[in-house]
Amino acid sequence: MIWPFRRKSKRRMARIIIEGAINGATRKLVLKAIKQVEEREFPALLLRIDSPGGTVGDSQEIHKALLRLREKGCRVVASFGNISASGGVYVGVGAEKIVANPGTITGSIGVILRGNNLSKLLERIGIRFETIKSGTYKDILSPDRPLTEEERGLLQSLIDSSYEQFVNAVAEGRNLKPEEVKKFADGRVFTGSQAKDLGLVDEIGDEDHARIVAANLAEIDDKIEPITLGKPKKKILGFLPGSSFLFNLAELINMELSSNGQILWLFKP
């Protein structure tokens, strides 16, 4: 049995927003929304991205889900907002077309891994860790000691592998050669206009322009308003003055703490 809303959805457009750092919570929300797009057989998806990036695995899973959705026949267009950098770019290149504002901050194609060496501080206040480990590298990036040269080389090979994955995804998504991507994939950021010159973006325009591009690709009415899926639950404090800043600050702090020692595709100004 085909439900009425499915028939209606065939002439409609879905919209998914990726906002803030890409992490596990974002991945769950976005993957659920993408599944709804597939089940309801939307012919087009407008993907709004306003993110500095995030964790590698979460970005890769969203990117892969977008490619599967396109294989089902859905036309996907990404709209880059204020910022779509690093992991935001990785997710974005899963779209068929990318539209960015002329002043959008994008790029930052690269990988970062950070640990905290607090050994001198700990020594100063008289704190000392006693570590029992099963292997030479089990306590790599521990905060109570600096990295050895062997550990640094091991982590660099890890970063290099992740970087190659990133470059290859951008190359495939943007129909560029990996060598071309590497010319600008050194962590630098660009405006939307600069990104268009590099082939990272297809068109310059706002979200409404991206909506029209998606409608034209799917051959549906370009005057229709998209249906937003995967909306995050509203927080009670969201109604208080200045709460937006507090939540953004809390998100950044939480990202810093939870991602310590993780490989990140994240723009860090």
| CATH code, domain carrying 253 | 3.90.226.10
Q: Residue 80's domain spans which residues?
A: 4-113+177-266
Q: Is residue 162 part of a domain?
A: no
Q: Is residue 219 part of a domain?
A: yes
Q: Return the structure tokens found at 70.
A: 């396109």
Most confident of 42-46, 139-143, 236-240: 42-46
Predicted TM-score of the model (pTM): 0.85
Using DSSP, how many helices (H) and how many strands (E) does the chain show?
A: 10, 11
What is the per-residue pLDDT for 92? 98
What is the per-residue pLDDT for 10? 66
Q: Is residue 151 part of a domain?
A: no
Mean pLDDT of 216-234: 89
User: With bands split at pLDDT 50, 70 and 90, how would you rate the model's confidence at 261?
Assistant: low
Nearest-angstrom CA–CA distance, 172 and 203: 18
CB atoms within 10 A of CB 107: 26
Q: Which tens digit of pLDDT belongs to each residue from 10-26?
A: 679 999 999 999 999 99
Q: Is residue 137 part of a domain?
A: no
pLDDT at 6 over 50: no
pLDDT at 256 over 70: no
pLDDT at 73 over 90: yes
What is the per-residue pLDDT for 234? 55
Q: Is residue 85 part of a domain?
A: yes
Q: Is residue 139 part of a domain?
A: no
Q: Is residue 136 part of a domain?
A: no
**CA-atom Rg of the chain in angstroms:** 21
pLDDT higher at 267 or 85: 85
Catalytic center residues: 86, 138
Average pLDDT, the chain: 88
Closest listed residue to residue 81, CA positions, set 194, 207, 247: 207
Nearest-angstrom CA–CA distance, 51 and 194: 18
Written as one letter, the residue type at 51 is: S
pLDDT at 257 over 70: no
User: With bands split at pLDDT 50, 70 and 90, how would you rate the model's confidence at 184?
Assistant: very high
User: With bands split at pLDDT 50, 70 and 90, how would you rate the model's confidence at 266?
Assistant: confident
Q: Which tens digit of pLDDT belongs to each residue from 81-112?
A: 999 999 999 999 999 999 999 999 999 999 98
Written as one letter, the residue type at 169 is: A
Query: How many domains does the chain fold into?
Result: 1
φ and ψ at residue 264, rounded to 5 degrees:
-125, 145
From 27-41, 54-68, 185-199, 222-236, the region with the lowest mean pLDDT: 222-236
pLDDT at 145 over 90: yes
pLDDT at 217 over 80: yes
Q: Which tens digit of pLDDT belongs to each residue from 23-67?
A: 999 999 999 999 999 999 999 999 999 999 999 999 999 999 999
Closest listed residue to residue 89, CA positions, set 204, 182, 168, 200: 200
pLDDT at 148 over 70: yes
Q: Is residue 141 part of a domain?
A: no
